[in-house]
Amino acid sequence: MPTTLEIITSDALEARHGFFTRKGGASSGIFAGLNCGTGSSDQTEIVAINRARVAEAMGVGPEALLTVHQVHSAKAVPVTGPLAIRPEADALVTDRPGVLLAVLTADCQPVLFADPKAKVVGAAHAGWRGAVDGVLEATIDAMEALGARRSNITAVIGPTISQAAYEVGPEFFDRFRAEDEASTRFFANAAGDRMLFDLPGYGLYRLRNAGVKEALWTGHCTYRDPARFYSFRRTTHAKEADYGRLISVIRL
């Protein structure tokens, strides 16, 4: 099994970070590659090996790689070290060097944040529900509680599902329109009553409205590139039993 990891980075983020693709992992079968999802039905020992490879690539031990129990919430938690129990949340922030914040995704947005002046970083898992409910703003607020300033924060959205691959129904559109009429611009017409939703475009809109210094998307679509990315929606369309989870990390 190849061990060479593929790590997507952004020059805009002034902190050690990476959006890892599925390449270079120890998993096999439908999980082939770097599956880091403990919630998948992949072998626990293999997932641990994959996560240890990620930690090593970021210059820390496996115990420093921290994740939460993601529940599509708008909750962000500050962390100072190893978590005895993984809290139910969808974002983490820290001002402690050597703590590796990580989120898992398979179409949802992984968003990494950094304020290099205050030396505070954050990571968020932002699917459509979390984004609507405010997980991105909650992450910024939690960073400010540690001394960051939103005007100094850069946020980068990593590999996520693109608009061309994200078909939704009218009730989905109605939910967004009820929340914010301006968000209707992130929908395009598809066949019948179906629509195509621009998740990263919406994420950038929320981040920029929150007043961050800079907000970017790496431009990678998880659905369209099976060799590099896991995708929940692609797995569903293929009627596969399960899917792997990509990992995105950041540290001081």
pLDDT in tens, 189-241: 999 999 999 999 999 999 999 999 999 999 999 999 999 999 999 999 999 98
Region of residue 150 (phi > 0: left; psi between -120 and 50: alpha; otherwise: beta) = alpha
Q: In what order do the strands lie in the sheet with 187-189?
A: 167-168, 195-197, 187-189
Give the residue-averaged pLDDT of 111-121.
98
Rounded Cα–Cα distance for residues 197 and 94 (Å): 32
Contacts of 36-45 with C-beta under 8 Å, sequence gap 24+, read 36/102, 36/104, 36/244, 36/245, 36/246, 36/247, 37/104, 37/106, 37/244, 37/245, 38/67, 39/104, 39/245, 40/242, 40/243, 40/244, 40/245, 41/241, 41/242, 42/242, 42/244
Give, for 110, the enclosing helix (H) or strand (E): strand 109-115
Under the banding of pLDDT at 50, 70 and 90, the label for residue 84 is confident
- Tally of CB atoms within 10 A around 157: 27
**pLDDT of residue 115 exceeding 90:** yes
**Residue with more model confidence, 82 or 144:** 144
**Residue with more model confidence, 80 or 151:** 151
Give, for 18, the enclosing helix (H) or strand (E): strand 16-20
Is 204 strand, coil or helix? helix
| Residue indicated by tokens 């590659």 | 33
Query: What residues does each domain of the chain span?
Result: 7-160+220-251
- Tally of CB atoms within 10 A around 22: 27
Q: Would you state the structure tokens that stand for residue 59, as one six-digit string?
A: 């210059």
Give the residue-averaged pLDDT of 150-174.
97
Give the residue-averaged pLDDT of 130-137.
97
**pLDDT of residue 1 exceeding 50:** no
pLDDT 10s digits, 164-191: 999 999 999 999 999 999 999 999 999 9
Rounded Cα–Cα distance for residues 137 and 207 (Å): 7
**Residue with more model confidence, 20 or 241:** 20
Averaged pLDDT score across all residues of the chain: 96
Q: What is the CATH number of domain 7-160+220-251?
A: 3.60.140.10
Rounded Cα–Cα distance for residues 30 and 119 (Å): 39
Rounded Cα–Cα distance for residues 14 and 230 (Å): 27
Q: Is the pTM of this model over 0.95?
A: yes
The pLDDT assigned to 204 comes to: 98
Give the residue-averaged pLDDT of 84-89.
93
**pLDDT of residue 245 exceeding 90:** yes
Under the banding of pLDDT at 50, 70 and 90, the label for residue 3 is low
Rounded Cα–Cα distance for residues 36 and 245 (Å): 6
Share of the chain above pLDDT 70, in %: 99
Rounded Cα–Cα distance for residues 12 and 245 (Å): 25
Under the banding of pLDDT at 50, 70 and 90, the label for residue 2 is very low
